[in-house]
Structure formats: structure tokens, C-alpha cells
């Protein structure tokens, strides 16, 4: 099985048009900074800028009052994911109040890895879960012989594939047409606790409806 991992690639300019977490969001002219619709009403924190084949995915998560605003729920209003056109984007003006930016801008490079589950999966512990492509690829990244895990903190997520261990009842519906959405990416919190997004120890999931050019985000 193949997985396209997002790998930490050092720092990047805050307004660069490269795959990254942190920095300043790029958006169409006149686009307003998204506000939390769950509880606090404050500005959301910018999480990720992810160029994809048909545009740019831009992800925001509320961090003004962690635990109060339900950022883990795709329909709560405490997060946003947008599919912007590829052209005509410009740096957004950052609100003066609220937690809006991550402490660091982390560049992302992609790496396609191929994992043979028969070589990595050990069912001696009685675990009946089917091996998950993303979980196997992440845990095996740069793993040395004799080690159980590799350099997992370097993995910032993945593009495409299927959502890792996500139950069907958590799959979001498009906010515009109510249809099923395509899975787009996993997002880990970050390379270090000092610079990471607070996801409550969970994994981020990005979905997109290309027909409506709409996105959704949740954690699990």
C-alpha cells in the first residue's frame, strides 16, 4: 500500500505559496478572516496552506478557549476548511486580537512510501484492527532495523488515501449540497509541542467537495 506523507522540511517564509503549516493565510482579495461560530466568536487560528491539484486548501481552527469551542466537530463552527482557486491569492490581514497564528511556519515536502503490511503488522497481541495505511507509513518513517517506530514527529500528515480509523458516522457532509465529501488530507499537530496546533492529542482530517469548492475539518 502507498501513502503520500507530508514531511517536515524546515522553516518557510510566512507568506510563501508552498505546502506549510503556520504562517499567514493566502486568500482571494476581500476574503474576511473566519471567526468562531461555536462559542467564543473570536478569530480562528490559521493552521495549514496546502496546494492541491485543483486549488489551495486553507485550514483554520479555534484556539481562543480550547475545550470550550468544539473544534473537533466539522459542523460546530469552531473550524473552517476552504478550497481556494490556485491563482489570485494574497496574504490576509491578521486580526489584532485572538490567537490567530502559529509560533512557527513549517515547510512541507511530500514523500510517497510503500508499506507491506505483512512486514510490519504483528497480530500476536490479539489486536483485530486491520492495518491502516497512514498509521503504518507514519510509524515506519525512517525506522531503523530493530526499532518499533521511526521518526514519527517529522510526519506532519498525508495527502489523499482514506481517513485513518475514522468511523463512518463522523464523515462530514458538504455544508453547501449536503452530499458526501472526498477525503483530502491528514494533519498532525506539528513538529514540536512549542510550535504545534493544539488538537487535543488527536489527528486532523480535511475533506473537500470539489463540485461546491467547499471544505471541512475535524479531529479524531
> pLDDT at residue 119 above 60?
no
- Looking at residue 83, what is its pLDDT? 97
Which pLDDT score, from 0 to 100, does residue 149 have? 67
**SS3 of residue 118 by DSSP:** helix
pLDDT given at position 126: 53
Ordered by where they begin, the domains of the chain are 2-219 (2.30.320)
Triad 137, 214, 192: Cα angle to 5°: 40
pLDDT digits (tens, 9 = 90+) for 45-87: 999 999 998 899 999 999 998 778 999 999 999 999 999 999 9
- Tell me the average pLDDT of the chain: 91
Report the Cα–Cα distance between both ends of the chain, in Å, rounded. Answer: 23
- The C-alpha cell that represents 48 in the structure block: 495549514
Amino acid at each position: 500500500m502507498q501513502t503520500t506523507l507530508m514531511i517536515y522540511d524546515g522553516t518557510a517564509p510566512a507568506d510563501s505559496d508552498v505546502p506549510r503549516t503556520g504562517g499567514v493565510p493566502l486568500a482571494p482579495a476581500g476574503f474576511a478572516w473566519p471567526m468562531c461560530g461555536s462559542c467564543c466568536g473570536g478569530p480562528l487560528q490559521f493552521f495549514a496552506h496546502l496546494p492541491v491539484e485543483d486549488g489551495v486548501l486553507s485550514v483554520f481552527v479555534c484556539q481562543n478557549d480550547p475545550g470550550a469551542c468544539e473544534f473537533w466537530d466539522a459542523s460546530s463552527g469552531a473550524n473552517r476548511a476552504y478550497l481556494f482557486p490556485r491563482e489570485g491569492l494574497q496574504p490576509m490581514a491578521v486580526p489584532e486580537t485572538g490567537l490567530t497564528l502559529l509560533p512557527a511556519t513549517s515547510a512541507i515536502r511530500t514523500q510517497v512510501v510503500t508499506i507491506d503490511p505483512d512486514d510490519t503488522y504483528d497480530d500476536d497481541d490479539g489486536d483485530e484492527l486491520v492495518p491502516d495505511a497512514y498509521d503504518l507509513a507514519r510509524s515506519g518513517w525512517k525506522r531503523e532495523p530493530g526499532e518499533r517506530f521511526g521518526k514519527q514527529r517529522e510526519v506532519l500528515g498525508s495527502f489523499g488515501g482514506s481517513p485513518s480509523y475514522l468511523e463512518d458516522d463522523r464523515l462530514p457532509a458538504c455544508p453547501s449540497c449536503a452530499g458526501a465529501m472526498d477525503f483530502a488530507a491528514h494533519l498532525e499537530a506539528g513538529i514540536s509541542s512549542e510550535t504545534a496546533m493544539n488538537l487535543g492529542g488527536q489527528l486532523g482530517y480535511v475533506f473537500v467537495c470539489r463540485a461546491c469548492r467547499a471544505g471541512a475539518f475535524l479531529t479524531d
